[in-house]
Amino acid sequence: MSKSLYLPEGYASALTLRETQHAIKYIKDLFQQTLSFALTLDRVTAPLIVRAGSGINDDLNGVERKVDFSIKEINDNAEVVQSLAKWKRMALYRYGYNPGEGIYTDMNAIRRDDDTDNLHSIFVDQWDWEKVITRDQRNVEFLEDTVRSIVKAIVYTSRKVDLRYPQLGVKLCDTPYFVTTQELEDRYPDKTPKEREDLIAREHGTVFIRQIGGKLQSGIRHDGRAPDYDDWALNGDLFFWNEVLGRAIEISSMGIRVDADSLRSQLAELGAEDRMQYEFHQKVADGTLPLTIGGGIGQSRLCMLLLGKAHIGEVQCSVWPSEMVETCKKNGITLL
């Protein structure tokens, strides 16, 4: 069982199992409509699997094992996606989207090497979104304006949920605080990156931490980030303070995507120049693919946050260690 499992003292769900299922549907229906309107996004169909070796699958930190399998009628293997970061940008190009227009989709993934705890599952469900932008919009101001729009959509959804289920009483800060990873290291030099996230989220409620992926002045990275989708100077993670767990909960990872220059420099920094063999990378480098901004918003994590749940397994069906299931049950946490 995960050593990081947290059991809130005296925890009890404010909703029954049946009410929880109704509330999950309500949140998902309402939020995706609100997000679509806020960012001008069309819903599209997206893949669960892609060809192995295509360069389209997200490599995350480059060490996670993908779930793959052979296909009877194709002399090749397929991989379950780990995210759709690259696929979305290719789709915007193929479908002919223009600046100011974008797409979102339901993304389901299996990350077999993730540790399981209150916030992490091997099953990942997100709203993945991507939007075409202009060269002039590749700046911090545009990134932060987009974050504010997402936060407004989340807070609006939370308020509507509280009207339907007043026993929840979840209150979220609707004004995000912006800070860089280097500013956090300077402020809390003796803390780990995760401890810094908790401290700043406790202080401000809603926080967007910018510039994730590159090395800090200490020589460490705040967190890992693939070198071929986010521009590390123009990305970040969105956190909300979670009273139930007494810690920050990351709801979204997002950013302005790499252009030709940032792609090459970030690949070089990680010694991953061999990825330039793939169609996606070549199309970024030669300017064929549009400039974009995009990210993922965790569906189960958002439901967990808005419903005051203590474990992500209370809002999604997944596979958990048997000991975790029993420990949670004894402490008032019923996993679906």
Burial level of 51, CB count in 10 A (0-12/13-18/19+)?
Answer: middle
Angle between helices 299-306 and 17-39 (to 10 degrees): 120
Sequence-ordered strand ranges (E) for 2-73: 41-43, 49-51, 68-71
Cα separation, 170 vs 158, in Å, equals: 7
Identify the active-site residue in 114, 250, 265, 282. Answer: 250
Identify the active-site residue in 32, 36, 83, 111. Answer: 111
Identify the active-site residue in 125, 237, 259, 314. Answer: 237
Strand-pair category, 74-80 with 41-43: unpaired
Output the CA torsion 240→241→247→253 (10° steps). 10
Identify the active-site residue in 58, 128, 228, 230. Answer: 58
Give the side-chain half-sphere CA count within 13 A for 184: 29
198 is catalytic: no
250 is catalytic: yes
| Distances 273 to 224, 239, 276, 277 between C-alpha atoms, Å | 17, 32, 6, 8
Burial level of 263, CB count in 10 A (0-12/13-18/19+)?
Answer: buried
Strand-pair category, 49-51 with 74-80: antiparallel
Identify the active-site residue in 32, 36, 83, 126. Answer: 126
Closest to 177 (Cα-Cα) out of 120, 239, 220: 239
111 is catalytic: yes
Residue 232 near residue 225 (C-beta atoms within 8 A): yes
Burial level of 4, CB count in 10 A (0-12/13-18/19+)?
Answer: exposed
Residue 308 near residue 170 (C-beta atoms within 8 A): yes
Q: What is the DSSP letter of 223?
A: S
125 is catalytic: no
> Among all chains, which residue has been given the structure tokens 């008032």?
332
Closest to 109 (Cα-Cα) out of 58, 62, 158, 178: 58
Identify the active-site residue in 13, 83, 121, 253. Answer: 253
Please identify every residue annotated as catalytic: 58, 111, 126, 237, 250, 253
